[in-house]
Structure 1
Amino acid sequence: MNGLPEQVLITEVLLRDGLQIEPVIVPTQDKLRLAYGFLEAGLTSLEIGSFVHPGKVPQMADTDRLAAELRAGETASLHSLVFNERGAHRALAAGARNVRLTVSASDGHSRANAGVPTEQALERLRVAAEPLTAANVQLEATIATAFLCPFDGETSPRRVVETAHQLAGLGISVLHLADTIGAASPWHIRRTVRAVQAELTDLPLGLHLHNTYGMASANVWEALHLGIRRFDAALGGVGGCPFAPGAAGNIATDDLVNVCHHAGIATGIDVRRLVELRDEVHALLGRKLPSALAAVPGAPAPLRVTAAPD
């Protein structure tokens, strides 16, 4: 198919975004078992947690331990989220080599998520980036509510571009745009991605999509044609933001892989192992998972198509 890539990079975010809103706190050993399972399945990029106050997000209280234990046999990019200087120093103490700085494009979500408006949150990230850069930590960034905000409504592309410029000044290597509440349409994706691409021509972009209104796969399809090659996803479609009322889970890794493989786009992921891991997540959480494939009784692993149809 014209305009589609040969391969994409999928970052599995189950261990962070997938679990941060779950009422069940998954034990560290189970998280480690899932992490090693993801590596066995061929994933080369994992988001393992966030360095936030454990009182606010208790599900992430063991991120330090996860980072320290997984780095010993590190064969993939292990990402963790940082919002401020304290989080940066915790990341360094845990030996983190890949950090995502996170800020909301909208003031309303920034106040709910970080306690301050966007500009002040960006200043915190400037301070946080200094020790990370000095330690040669690889920096990426995510702009939350890049398309719509549960408090402020639609986010203007200009606002996203301005935020992106400030993050680019911190030395990031990749910028991810997040549909935090899962309400964006392909039109929103096209409008904002093109605006950022037009002004930050050398900065690789990725998408972090939620699926509240069932549009995530359509948004992926639009993004692929816009040159996006990096996507976050959570196995089984679990996840959500504690500070984004009404947001559903992430686009499901199994559904995303299915879309890509049917179009002949390689992911490097063993889909049968992925489905086995999805069953483990189902058992750990004790509830139905929202991915489309998980809802099909007796469904096999997603089909692998080796060539795109004419």
Structure 2
Amino acid sequence: MSDLPKHVHFHEEGPREGFQIERGGFSLADRAALVDALSETGLEEIQVTSFVSPKAVPQMADAEALFAAIRRKPGVRYDAVWLNERGYDRARACPGVDIGGRIALYASDAFALRNNNCTAAVMRERVNAWLDRYEADGVPIERALVMAAFGCNFEGEIPPERAVGELVWAYRVCRDRGLALPRLYLADTMGWANPQAIRRAVGLLRDALPEAEIGLHLHDTRGLGAANVLAALEMGISHFDSAVAGLGGCPFAGHGDSRGAGNICTEDMVFLCHEMGIGTGIDLEALVEAARLAERIIGRPLAGRLMHAGTLAAYRGRRAAA
């Protein structure tokens, strides 16, 4: 337990990854209100939307309008996702988007074809062109992320060496060009990870690149999200992607009609950290209220636990008063 981090950073993805998988439309005002509520919790990064094809993901068709509707809070970074140059150009042209360069890679050809309409090898081939573009535009590289790092619903088991190899390759490409790559993310896109797999993949990546900082993008699809976060915390991992109220999921991940748990739930994982004495800089009560707002907007019970059970603050207050 001596490797526990002192502070954990959560990159909130609920407004983007949460709403992209939900059927039907949700009002611009409601989605902007959720982003604004999240802005008041102490979260430092919020992923607002995706600049992607409205035919493929109609829920994200009004990306520019959503950015225009939110109230930006100083000190909060508001980012977005794109999958190709057209989406990148839209994001750069949209006022209010905090642009950071990303390298997207796949450990699964089958998922790459569904999600990006190309193979994992072709995604690799495109990296240098993206790096050229980022350099030309003066955009710093933020992260490299390998999707389906622990398993794939279409391809099955993914050897950890394959996912780690993709990130090691990206890191070395950037290094050879004199570019910093601040963080390497292993993404459990389809909920295949378990604590042992987390330890093995993180260990392999650390052995290959001891100087690199590692982050995790985890899903709670099969109920192991919190266990996987705990395993990562015990290895000193301090950067996680998460989604308020447990929203989220990839529409191309092959979960059928399931609308169960999505990404690891931000407020539940913040609670876990606080209970273990790990700082986050987040106002947990405000975050729980944002989760309840998300549930009201979606209109059905969501997967987060803390927003239904409440924090322990009130109970501890009663004991102290007694």
Question: Is the pair's TM-score, using the shorter chain for normalization, greater than 0.5?
Answer: yes
Match of 2:205 among 187, 190, 196: 196
Is the 8 Å Cα contact of residues 10 and 43 (structure 1) preserved in structure 2? yes
Structure 1: give runs of 5+ residues left out of the alignment: 305-310
| Aligned twin of 1:8 | 8
Give the Cα separation in 2 of the matches to 1:255 and 1:87: 32
Is the 8 Å Cα contact of residues 240 and 250 (structure 1) preserved in structure 2? yes
Is the 8 Å Cα contact of residues 36 and 71 (structure 2) preserved in structure 1? no
Q: Secondary structure of 1:88's match?
A: helix
Question: Following TM superposition, by how much is the alpha carbon of 1:289 offset from its aligned partner in structure 2, in angstroms?
Answer: 0.5
Question: Following TM superposition, by how much is the alpha carbon of 1:252 offset from its aligned partner in structure 2, in angstroms?
Answer: 0.7
Q: Map 1:20-31 onto structure 2 (within 5 A).
A: 20-31=20-31
Question: Following TM superposition, by how much is the alpha carbon of 1:288 offset from its aligned partner in structure 2, in angstroms?
Answer: 0.6
User: Which consecutive aligned stretches of 4+ in structure 1 deviate over 6 angstroms post-superposition?
Assistant: none
CA 141–223 in structure 1, closer or farther in 2 if over 3 Å, else same: same
The one-letter code matched in structure 2 to 1:81 is: V
The one-letter code matched in structure 2 to 1:18 is: G
Q: Secondary structure of 2:201's match?
A: helix
| Aligned twin of 1:102 | 104
Which one is further off, 231-240 or 163-172? 163-172
The one-letter code matched in structure 2 to 1:109 is: F
Question: Following TM superposition, by how much is the alpha carbon of 1:203 offset from its aligned partner in structure 2, in angstroms?
Answer: 2.2
Is the 8 Å Cα contact of residues 13 and 47 (structure 2) preserved in structure 1? yes
CA 25–176 in structure 1, closer or farther in 2 if over 3 Å, else same: farther
Give the Cα separation in 2 of the matches to 1:102 and 1:60: 19
Match of 1:215 among 224, 231, 246: 224
Question: Following TM superposition, by how much is the alpha carbon of 1:90 offset from its aligned partner in structure 2, in angstroms?
Answer: 1.9
Q: Secondary structure of 2:285's match?
A: helix
Is the 8 Å Cα contact of residues 83 and 124 (structure 1) preserved in structure 2? no
Give the Cα separation in 1 of the matches to 2:296 and 2:223: 24
Is the 8 Å Cα contact of residues 174 and 206 (structure 1) preserved in structure 2? yes
Question: Following TM superposition, by how much is the alpha carbon of 1:24 offset from its aligned partner in structure 2, in angstroms?
Answer: 3.1
Q: Secondary structure of 2:310's match?
A: coil
**CA deviation map 1:267-290 (0-9, x unaligned):** 111111111111111111001101
Q: Map 1:254-269 onto structure 2 (within 5 A).
A: 254-269=267-282
| Aligned twin of 2:57 | 57
Structure 2: give runs of 5+ residues left out of the alignment: 315-322
Question: Following TM superposition, by how much is the alpha carbon of 1:66 offset from its aligned partner in structure 2, in angstroms?
Answer: 3.8
Q: Secondary structure of 1:268's match?
A: coil
Question: Following TM superposition, by how much is the alpha carbon of 1:149 offset from its aligned partner in structure 2, in angstroms?
Answer: 0.8
**CA deviation map 1:141-164 (0-9, x unaligned):** 321101111111121122112211
**CA deviation map 1:207-257 (0-9, x unaligned):** 111112211111111111222100111111111111111274011111101
**CA deviation map 1:55-79 (0-9, x unaligned):** 1011122333444666965522223
| Aligned twin of 1:152 | 155
Is the 8 Å Cα contact of residues 83 and 103 (structure 1) preserved in structure 2? no
Question: Following TM superposition, by how much is the alpha carbon of 1:18 offset from its aligned partner in structure 2, in angstroms?
Answer: 1.2
| Aligned twin of 2:241 | 232
Q: Secondary structure of 2:205's match?
A: helix
TM-score (ref. length: structure 1):
0.89
Aligned-pair Cα RMSD in Å: 2.4
Give the Cα separation in 2 of the matches to 1:2 and 1:175: 23
CA 281–300 in structure 1, closer or farther in 2 if over 3 Å, else same: same
Q: Please say if 1:252 is aligned against 2:262.
A: no
| Aligned twin of 1:143 | 146
Q: Secondary structure of 1:146's match?
A: coil
The number of equivalent residue pairs is: 303
Q: Secondary structure of 1:4's match?
A: coil
Which one is further off, 78-87 or 40-49? 78-87
The one-letter code matched in structure 2 to 1:257 is: V
| Aligned twin of 2:297 | 284
Question: Following TM superposition, by how much is the alpha carbon of 1:130 offset from its aligned partner in structure 2, in angstroms?
Answer: 2.5
The one-letter code matched in structure 1 to 2:292 is: D
TM-score (ref. length: structure 2):
0.86
Match of 2:126 among 86, 106, 124: 124
Give the Cα separation in 2 of the matches to 1:44 and 1:286: 27
Q: Secondary structure of 1:123's match?
A: helix
